[in-house]
């Protein structure tokens, strides 16, 4: 059931908590469902 989205131009200090707070208003986020990666 793997779904993913890519979000560009996040601030370097973006955290899982920040993203969960923003996206939980759109629906349930499964535990461990958010990963923050940086190519820098």
Is 80 exceeded by the pLDDT of residue 30?
yes
Task: Report the chain's C-alpha Rg in angstroms.
Answer: 11
Q: How far apart are CA 35 and CA 20, in angstroms?
A: 10
Q: Check whether 17 has a pLDDT greater than 90.
A: yes
The arithmetic mean of pLDDT across residues 21-33, rounded, is 91
| 2-9: long-range contacts, CB 8 A cutoff, minimum separation 24 | none
User: Looking at residues 26-40, what average pLDDT do you find?
Assistant: 85
Q: What is the pLDDT, as a whole number, of residue 24?
A: 92
Note whether 19 and 34 are within 8 A (CB).
yes
H or E segment at 22? helix 16-23
Spatial distance between the Cα atoms of 9 and 39, rounded to a whole number of angstroms: 11
The pLDDT assigned to 40 comes to 65
């Amino acid at each position: 059931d793997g779904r993913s989205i890519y979000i560009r131009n996040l601030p370097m200090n973006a955290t899982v908590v920040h993203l969960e707070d923003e996206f939980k208003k759109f629906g349930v986020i499964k535990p461990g469902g958010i990963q923050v990666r940086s190519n820098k």
